[in-house]
């Protein structure tokens, strides 16, 4: 009889523990809508929830898919690991972003997402004329997406593809609301900015410099530092 009573007490405590974490995830953190996985582990001593297998994290305007994840309740951050895929669709601001990487973390307070290792991003957004669509593809080793500041920062062997143009550089900051790219700014690296046009109609075939600014909307390029240009005949 006493054993049966103790089992009921333990079961009740477990139920309260699970409900407490559900409250943490869904009530305190408004950005969370749902987290699903094959296996979930609750660590009450550290206020951490771990998810394993087919993890899906739904949040405002998007979701993250991965193999495993850890949510830190105190810091309000989630860390995703292995086969990470992120989709963000903003109907209010008319843009979408999908990102593949090996690691990712998301701060639900600052709305900053960081991605590491074999990062690949595709961005699509309406230009200010509300008629043409701007498409930007980025490959890099590290990428940070700041939804509040509306900017994308990336570094480490960066490749950017836009309007049949290919850009190589060490670092880049894309202000997607203003449609401006800053290349190799705030970093002193030997790797130069290299711009190659794949469109025969564009007379500038190749250019390089220490730094560069590209105005995507107006199709303007500003080069700074030991510039080298080559044109189509």
Residue 214 and residue 182: Cα distance in Å, rounded?
A: 7
Query: What percent of the chain has a predicted confidence (pLDDT) above 70?
Result: 77
Enter the tokens of residue 206: 């190749």
Instruction: Quickly list DSSP for 3-58.
Output: HHHHHHHHHHHHHHHHHHHHHIIIII-TT--EEE-SEEEEETTTTEEEEEEEEEEE
pTM: 0.79
Residue 168 and residue 161: Cα distance in Å, rounded?
A: 9
> How many CA atoms lie within 13 Å of 120's alpha carbon, on the beta-carbon side?
5
Per-domain residue ranges for the chain?
Answer: 150-233
Q: Give the mean pLDDT of 150-154.
A: 93
Q: pLDDT by residue (tens digit) across 15-45? A: 434 443 443 454 444 555 678 899 999 888 8
End-to-end CA distance of the chain: 94
At 2 the three-state DSSP class reads helix
């Amino acid at each position: 009889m006493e054993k049966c009573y103790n089992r009921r007490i333990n079961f009740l405590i477990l139920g309260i523990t699970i409900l407490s974490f559900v409250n943490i995830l869904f009530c305190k953190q408004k950005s969370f809508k749902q987290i699903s996985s094959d296996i979930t582990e609750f660590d009450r001593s550290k206020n951490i929830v771990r998810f394993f297998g087919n993890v899906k994290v739904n949040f405002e305007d998007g979701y993250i898919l991965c193999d495993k994840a850890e949510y830190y309740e105190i810091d309000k951050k989630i860390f995703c690991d292995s086969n990470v895929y992120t989709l963000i669709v903003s109907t209010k601001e008319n843009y979408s972003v999908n990102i593949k990487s090996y690691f990712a973390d998301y701060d639900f307070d600052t709305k900053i997402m960081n991605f590491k290792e074999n990062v690949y991003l595709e961005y699509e957004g309406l230009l200010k004329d509300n008629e043409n669509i701007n498409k930007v593809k980025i490959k890099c080793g590290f990428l940070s997406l700041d939804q509040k500041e509306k900017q994308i920062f990336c570094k480490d062997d960066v490749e950017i593809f836009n309007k049949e143009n290919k850009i190589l550089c060490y670092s880049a900051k894309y202000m997607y609301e203003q449609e401006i790219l800053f290349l190799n700014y705030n970093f002193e690296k030997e790797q130069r900015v290299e711009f190659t046009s794949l469109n025969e109609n564009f007379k500038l075939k190749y250019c390089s410099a220490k730094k560069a600014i590209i105005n995507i909307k107006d199709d303007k390029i500003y080069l700074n530092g030991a510039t080298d240009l080559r044109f189509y005949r």
